[in-house]
Structure 1
C-alpha cells in the first residue's frame, strides 16, 4: 500500500481499528506498552465479546471454508484477558460443535446443533485453557470448550454467569 499517496506526508491515517489488529499511528503519536497475561492452565468461565467472519483458502489438510474468529474474554483477578479462537466451519470440526454446546445451544433430536451466530456475541460458557509455544513465546490456548451438563460448580461460577 502506498501510504505517501494515500495519506500524504505528515497526515495521519484514520484511527479505525480493523479486526482487532490495532489502529494506524501517525509519526508523532504516543505509544503504550502492551502487556499480556498468561493464565494458569485450568478451566475458566468466559464471555464471547464478538466474532469476525473470515474465509480460509484451505491447506493440504483442509479444504477452503468459512471461519469464525471468535473473541473470548476471561475475567481473571479483575482483569479481562482476551483470547481469539478461529473456528473453521467444517463438518469434521468437533470444536465447532463443542463451542455451540458450551454456550448453551440446544441439541436437536438427531444430535446436531443449528449454529445461530446471532446469539454468539454476549454468550457465556466455560473453557479449558492450556499454553501453546510459538517462536519461543508462550500463549494462552483454548484446549477445549466445556459441555454445561458436565460442569462442576467451582470458583463461584453459577451456571453461565461470571
Structure 2
C-alpha cells in the first residue's frame, strides 16, 4: 500500500499503523527511491509571471539510515522555467546523460529508480499557529561514476539503502 491509498470501511489495516508520524531529517545528502508519479496541474502565479501548466508530483522515499526514512512529494512544473529541474531529476536517477541536449522525460520509467539528493530542512507556520519543521529537496545530484539508475550510491556514502529498497 502506498502512502496515498485510501481505506474503505472494511479494509484490513496492517503494519503501516505502526509507522505513524513524520521523520524530519537534518539537511544533507541522502539516497532516495522514486516510489510514485502523479500527474497534476499548476494554476500559475501572475505575480511571478508563471502560466498554468502540467505538474509532475514525484513521490520519493528518502533513506536516512539510523535516523529513519521519510517520503517527500516533489512538485516539478512542466514548463521552460523548470527545465533545469526536470533534467537534474532525470540525470540523478540515471535515465539521461548530463550531456544530453534534448530528451523526452520517461516519467513512468522513473518509478523504482534510485538517486542521491541534497535535502534541506525548513520551518513554516502550521495550521494551529505552531512552527513546524519539514524537509524538501534542495537539489538532485548526479550519480556517482559507474552507478546505474537502480543502484545509485554516493562516492562516500553517509547512508546506505536498507535491504530490499
TM-score by length of 2: 0.70
> 1:65–1:90: 8 Å Cα contact kept in structure 2?
yes
Q: How many residue pairs were aligned?
A: 140
SS of the residue 1:92 aligns to: helix
Q: Separation in 1 of the partners of 2:9 and 2:71?
A: 22
Distance verdict in 2 for CA 1:113–1:37, change over 3 Å: same
1:1-162 equivalences in 2 (<5 Å): 20=4, 34-60=20-46, 61=48, 62-77=50-65, 79-93=68-82, 94-107=84-97, 111-135=101-125, 136-149=131-144, 151-155=154-158, 157=160
- The alpha carbon displacement at 1:35 in A equals 1.3
> 2:37–2:108: 8 Å Cα contact kept in structure 1?
no
Once the two structures are superposed, what CA deviation does each residue of 1:19-57 show, in whole Å capped at 9, x if it has no partner? 82865779xxxx989411110111011000111100112
Q: Point out the structure with max Rg over C-alpha.
A: 1
RMSD of aligned alpha carbons: 3.2
- The alpha carbon displacement at 1:141 in A equals 1.1
SS of the residue 1:53 aligns to: strand
Q: Which runs of 5+ in 1 are unaligned?
A: 1-16
Distance verdict in 2 for CA 1:42–1:25, change over 3 Å: farther
TM-score by length of 1: 0.71
